[in-house]
Amino acid sequence: MAGRKPKTAAQKTLEGNPGRRPIKPHLMAELEVPAAPAHMEGLAKATFEETALRLYRLGVMTALDVFLLESYAENYAMMVETQAYIRANGMTYKAMTKSGVSIRQRPELAILNQCRAMHRQYSGELGLTPASRTKLPDASQGDLFKERQNPFSEFAPASGRVN
């Protein structure tokens, strides 16, 4: 899908509704800390469990997010493993060619860069980047989505229209 990501009902409510079109109510899934899938192990499992707990504390972790979080954790473990390999073996290698010895970039660097790009995407979807966290409701600010009295309503005419 091209274009902007659709906004949630909560975001639309916060930003106002200048078009006066009805806002569809958003669905709320029950918050929970899911267990890591049985096939996960090592760093991937530890990452899954730690991140799930942090997302739960933010008030955004549900059982519906397990597969996305699993991909995030597995990708992170692969990224760390690839970084360790590059650190141990270097970023280049010598290859024999017809014209002699050629120094080439390791294919693991491409894998690492792809893992990093995917990690940024997963982090954004889960609300783990600073930019994506600004879109999350902050419980410490109280209920931002309740109907509130507009402080300027006493100055506006009853029709709501100002000429």
Q: Could you read off the pLDDT of 51-108 as tens digits, one per residue?
A: 999 988 888 888 888 999 999 999 999 999 999 999 999 999 999 999 999 999 999 9
d(CA 111, CA 20): 47
Q: What is the sign of the dihedral through the CA atoms of 152, 156, 161 and 163?
A: negative
Q: What is the pLDDT of residues 111-160, one digit of tens each?
A: 999 999 999 999 988 888 887 777 665 533 334 344 555 555 565 556 55
- First-to-last C-alpha distance (Å) of the chain: 40
d(CA 44, CA 80): 10
pLDDT at 140 (0 to 100): 39
Note the pTM of the prediction, 2 decimals: 0.68
Secondary structure (3-state) at 66 = helix
Backbone phi, then psi, for 95, in 5-degree steps?
A: -125, 140
| Residues 101 and 134: beta-carbon distance below 8 Å | no
Residue 49 has pLDDT above 60, yes or no: yes
pLDDT at 57 (0 to 100): 86
- Span 4-9, mean pLDDT? 69
Helix, strand, coil percentages (3-state) for the chain, rounded to 5, are 50, 10, 45
21 assigned to some structural domain: no
Domain with 57, as residue range(s), is: 34-128
139 assigned to some structural domain: no
10 assigned to some structural domain: no
Per the structure, how many domains does the chain have? Answer: 1
